[in-house]
Structure 1
């Protein structure tokens, strides 16, 4: 299949997701499989030192099952679909980390250092669950800032891609990213 034909087919399938069936997902996922595996690999990378018992292939398959359950999914384009899939990956990994460390989690809040890309250094599963909690707080404070953090930090999206998905200027996204980092820095350092 020629590249233009493949892009047209992907666009057509994504446009039909709100009325989709399992058949639509069965056609769409193989077309985006390699990109989804790259994103899964990227999401698992910080967790490599601690075994979660999940591979990038497993994660893509989990995303397929999770997205299949969502009814009426509306995506603006392929980037938007991939951002949603990446967010599903993040949620799945957080759930795995929570399950794996449920008995070890106490009521104590841990201090997490803040780095340029919000990457704390200690115990990846606990850190992921802690950061996820802070992002939920950020979402209550400002939903758009939370979306920018998720797309940038967890989905490794460029500022331009985020701007396209959110229908904002790249400058606005950069400003939001800076505001979100400052907000998170204050929360993570308390």
Structure 2
């Protein structure tokens, strides 16, 4: 069953978003928290910061029309992706002027700049994937960047959970080949 419409046509600009944002704020925080759990320790962007940065990206849209709650959450997942990638790019630009600081992630040493570079490379690969299969790209955005489950992603995209699972498996394989040859 589809989500009820938020509005037949959400008002343009921040006024429409200001009314919608409080309704989905807790869900956005949960999505951001899921994503930030996978970020490096000492990340300068907090869960709240990610939600607020995504809000600013959404507020900057001039022709915002959200069909329903699921559609809005999918757009918010894209905004979170943009925020994290922009943050990684800024970090990459800063680190080129300085030394590398190492942090421990899952008992493996990984340079902070390598993680930022990996996120930027993932973004480039996702852009290529979107040109080949837009739905698979949306599945990755919902699953990876927003931390949604198969069922939640299926509701957002209007497909069956089994379709999400298949797209997720295919997209991960395709991205692995793109990123690691």
Q: TM-score, normalised by structure 1?
A: 0.74
* Inter-partner Cα distance in structure 1 for 2:130 and 2:5: 31
Aligned residues: 165
**Unaligned runs of at least 5 residues, structure 1:** 1-9, 106-120
Among 26, 32, 35, which residue is 2:27 paired with? 35
Aligned counterpart, 1:150: 141
In the superposition, relative to structure 1, how do residues 14 and 82 fare at CA in structure 2: closer, same or farther (>3 Å)?
farther
Please tell me whether the aligned partners of residues 151 and 162 of structure 1 are also in contact (alpha carbons under 8 angstroms): yes
Measured after TM superposition, the shift of residue 13 of structure 1 is 4.5
> Partner residue of 2:74?
83
Q: CA offset at residue 189 of structure 1? A: 2.2
For residue 91 of structure 2, the aligned residue among 80, 100, 119 is: 100
- Shift in CA distance, 104/44, structure 1 to aligned 2, threshold 3 Å: same
In terms of fraction of residues, the more strand-rich structure is 2
Deviations 1:131-180 (A, max 9, x none): 11211121122222111111111112222222233222222222222211
In 2: Cα distance, 1:34 partner to 1:136 partner: 29
Shift of residue 90, structure 1, vs aligned partner = 1.6
Q: Normalized against structure 2, the TM-score is what?
A: 0.78
- Indicate if the aligned counterparts of 1:135 and 1:146 stay in contact, CA closer than 8 A: yes
Q: Could you tell me which residue of structure 2 aligns to residue 61 of structure 1?
A: 52
- 2:37 is matched with which residue? 45
The CA distance in 2 between the partners of 1:182 and 1:89, in whole Å, is 23
Give the drift of 1:12. 6.1
> What are the ranges of 5 or more consecutive residues in structure 2 without an aligned counterpart?
97-108
SS of residue matched to 2:53 = helix
Match of 1:109 in 2: none
Bigger RCO of structures 1 and 2 (CA < 8 A, at least 6 apart): 2
Distance change in 2, residues 1:12/1:185 (3 Å)? closer
Structure 2 vs 1, CA of residues 44 and 140 (structure 1 numbering), >3 Å: closer, same or farther?
same
1:115-134 equivalences in 2 (<5 Å): 122=110, 123=112, 124-134=115-125
RMSD: 2.5
